[in-house]
Amino acid sequence: MAIDIKETAIISPDAVLAPDVVVGPYAVIGANVTIGAGTVIGPHARIEGPATIGARNRFVGQCSIGTDPQDLKFKAEKTELRIGDDNLFREFVTINRGTSGGGGITTIGSNNFFMAYSHVAHDCHVGSGTVFANSATLAGHVDVGDFATIGAFSAVHQFCHVGDHAFIGGGSICTQDVLPFVKTVGNRPAKTYGINTIGLERKGLSKETIEALQRAYRILVRSKLRAADALARIEEELGQFPEAKYFAEFVRASKRGVIR
């Protein structure tokens, strides 16, 4: 199947497109962009490089992908963006490349859904299976774990980590790390509201695993133990569950502290 490029699209001669890529009218693809098989670039979308984009991604109209980081320290040094497979980027999504001071790269995994106006800043690392609702925003240097959900009009502060399967409710402001598996909601301060039981059930976690996570959450948040003692107790009593062990390791590794 030949590349389907509308005649009003502008494609750099230095871009590399797989044989079945579709490029809509008025789209712009810059130099040093590589786009994998089955990817569809919508009308008026803009993709700048260096960027490597995997297979079967869909960029709906007016996306701005791989553009310069919004960082006053950026001096046009070579940085990049890497995107996996099967992602959906809706209208006006913006994703910036990395900075030399932050590792030089922004990464997006696979099977993610970015709703309209969501934003991923420079040097962020987003896992796979995540959902960014409308206008969800990451500041620079944020790590987001697999299967996390970031609610509409929510913002995550720079250098924060969002754990696997975390659920951030709409309109939240997260200035510390966001616990995995947990519902976090609120605007200065955000607070936690227990394990996201329904969401985890829908994702196929077993009843025993969810109960173990509920117990781990209660030990950390409600037992009034010191953090170190709470984590030791979680690992001692629930260490046979990989998810509970990860929960404890996430808290222990936090540099900004976790939202409770």
- Active-site positions read 122-123, 140
Phi, psi of 208, rounded to the nearest 5 degrees: -65, -40
Instruction: Tell the residue number behind the tokens 């979680």, with chain if given.
Output: 234
Distance CA 178, CA 149 (A): 11
